[in-house]
Amino acid sequence: MAVDGRGPGAGRPLRTLVLWGLLALAAAAGFGALGVWQLQRRAWKHDLIARVEERVGAAPVPAPGPAAWPAVDAARDEYRRVRTAGRFRHEDETLVRAVTDLGGGFWVLTPFRTDRGFTVLVNRGFVPPERRDPASRAAGQIAGETTVTGLLRVSEPGGGFLRANDPAAGRWYSRDVAAIAAARGLGEVAPYFIDADATANPGGLPAGGLTVVAFSDHHLVYALTWFALALLPAVGVAAALRGDRRRRQG
């Protein structure tokens, strides 16, 4: 006789089966909810991609001035094409570590005093390590009034490449607008920066137009994974019921 007092052909108590069924239902519901959430994320991502593609391909608009700065929003404004006129302050450029399609090197971030009276940082583009010295690319140090067209980007505070910015040592790993402005004594600057377009600079450097506009989109795979996991508890319960039925019939 079995230890619990049931005969060899006895099945599991009804309350045990009910408990297992409830647990399986809860697990399936949880996994299913995660699958639905991933589908919702997929819809949101596709909408974001469509909106960004529309901004990138649109005609440039004036770069937001001080009155509009409080309303600048990453979700609404990032990658919007903007244009502004003014003068570069090359003496205050900052080099930020970068890895691009052209290899490793630096972004050249230069303050730009607009003809509307405010300053904005412009990522003029990429330079390789051997051309980090401005004297090695003097032709590209545009003097006088010029126009910048590019994509509005939001600040990247903190650092990057798993390394924190070190303003005191002049080592920058992210385009942190506020920190760069403070380190260079620029005073108030726009809370965003502009990634310059591919308009060639004299001498070819810095090389602009290297902004990567790409978003990962694996949500459908994740959703299918969660839905598959949602089926496992049902399969497990079905297997347990079949085994229980055999034992009762045995």
The tens-digit pLDDT sequence of the chain (250 residues) is 444 544 444 455 667 767 777 887 888 888 888 878 777 777 766 665 666 676 767 899 999 999 999 999 877 888 899 999 999 999 999 999 998 889 999 999 999 999 999 999 999 999 999 999 999 999 999 999 999 999 999 999 987 767 899 999 999 999 999 999 999 999 999 999 999 999 999 999 999 988 877 666 776 777 788 778 878 777 776 666 676 666 666 5
Residue 64 in domain: no
Reading the block at residue 210, the tokens are 């290297």
pLDDT of residue 240: 66
Q: CA of 178: how far to CAs of 26, 38, 133, 189, 193, in Å?
A: 48, 35, 24, 8, 10
In a domain, 245, yes or no: yes
- How many Å apart are CA 202 and CA 215, to the nearest integer? 32
Q: Are residues 193 and 223 in the same domain?
A: no
Do 87 and 33 lie in one domain? The reply is no
- Describe the crossing of helices 219-249 and 14-57 by its angle, rounded to 10 degrees: 170
The reply to whether 158 and 233 lie within a common domain is no
Task: Report yes or no on 75 lying in a domain.
Answer: no
pLDDT value of residue 2: 45
Same domain, residue pair 85 and 176: yes
Q: What is the pLDDT of residue 49?
A: 64
Q: Are 122 and 159 contained in the same domain?
A: yes
Structural domain count of the chain:
2
And the tokens for 52?
Answer: 């960004």
Does 190 share its domain with 239? Answer: no
Look at residue 220 in the predicted model and tell me its pLDDT.
Answer: 76
Whether the CB-CB separation of 138 and 204 falls below 8 Å is answered with no
CB neighbours (10 Å) of residue 222? 16
DSSP 8-class letter at 37:
H
What CA–CA distance (Å, rounded) separates 141 from 124? Answer: 10
Q: Which strand (E) or helix (H) includes residue 154? A: strand 146-154
Sign of torsion over alpha carbons 38, 42, 44, 48? positive
- Could you tell me if residue 148 is inside a domain? yes
Is residue 65 situated within a structural domain?
no
Question: Is residue 72, in this structure, part of any structural domain at all?
Answer: no
Task: For residues 142 and 228, state if they share a domain.
Answer: no
The pair of structure tokens assigned to 103 is: 């290899």
Are 145 and 196 part of one and the same domain?
Answer: yes
In this structure, the answer to whether residues 92 and 180 fall within a common structural domain is yes
Bond into 128 cis (ω within 30): no
55: in domain: yes
- For residue 209, the surrounding DSSP H or E stretch is none
Check whether residue 109 and residue 17 sit in a common domain.
no
The reply to whether 192 and 223 lie within a common domain is: no
Q: Is there a domain that residue 248 lies in?
A: yes
Q: How far apart are alpha carbons 217 and 212 in whole angstroms?
A: 15
Residues 102 and 200 in one domain: yes
Q: Which domain holds residue 6?
A: 1-59+214-250
